[in-house]
Amino acid sequence: MKVKINVNQQIKVFECEAGDFLLETLRENNYLSVRRGCDTTSCGVCTVLLDGKPVPSCSLLTVKADGHEITTVEGIQAEAEKLGKHFGDEGADQCGYCNPSLALTVYAMKSELVNPTIDDIKEYLVGNLCRCTGYIAQERAILSYLGDKS
């Protein structure tokens, strides 16, 4: 079957099966920043934005995204680079496998929460389990990113 999805502001038509999940469809179509982690709705590595909200792409049926907007990290490139710089400055970056999903969740948080406290931030990001440099340096990087008005 065919689905029409707005990926990063471009209308795309993908061929998929009824039981395919979005993670597979995106990766088959070369959106390789979307990564497979646990594949069981737990780790958050496969997170993409569905109409601006973070969702685990490993568990969203591709057909359910038909007619909706999907954002991968390529769609927020400027913000992701800015966040990446703060990660680098705080020594919070390592292999990079989890970064696209974390960048997307932080991006969604920035537009959803107004003046979040450190606890609000921790709770918002709790579903992004895979963060190999440790959470403290990342917290510092995220706080400085949120305060960055450049």
Partner 1 sequence: MVASEYLRPKDFEEAYNLMIESKKNYLVAGGAWLKLSVKSAEKLISLDGLDLDKIQVNTDYIEIGSMVTLRTVEINNDIKNLYGGILSNAIHKIMGINIRNLATLGGSVMGKFAFSDIFPALLVLNTKLVFYKQGEICLEDFLANPKMAKDILTKIIIKKEPGEGFFKKVAITPLDFSVLNIAVSKNKEGFKISVGSTPYIAKLATNAMSYINNLSKITETEILKCSEMVVEELKFSKNNRGSKEYRVEIAKVYVKRGLKKVIANES
Strands 53-56 and 47-50: antiparallel
- Closest distance between partner 1 and the C-beta of residue 150, in Å? 26
- Compute, in degrees rounded to 10, the torsion defined by CA atoms 84, 86, 91, 94: -10
Whether 61 contacts 124, CB under 8 Å: no
Give the nearer residue to partner 1 in terms of CB position, either 64 or 148. 64
Q: Write each residue from 89 to 128 as x if it is in contact with partner 1 (CB under 8 A), else as -, in one continuous string.
A: ----------------x-----------------xxxxxx
Give the nearer residue to partner 1 in terms of CB position, either 37 or 84. 37
Whether 51 contacts 102, CB under 8 Å: no
Contacting partner 1 within 28-87 (CB under 8 A) = 39-42, 44, 47, 50, 53-56, 58-61, 63-64
- Closest distance between partner 1 and the C-beta of residue 89, in Å? 26
Cβ neighbours of residue 143 closer than 8 Å, sequence gap 6 or more: 118, 121
Nearest in space to 73 (alpha carbons), one of 82, 65, 86: 82
Instruction: Note the residues at the interface with partner 1 (CB under 8 A).
Output: 1, 17-21, 39-42, 44, 47, 50, 53-56, 58-61, 63-64, 105, 123-129
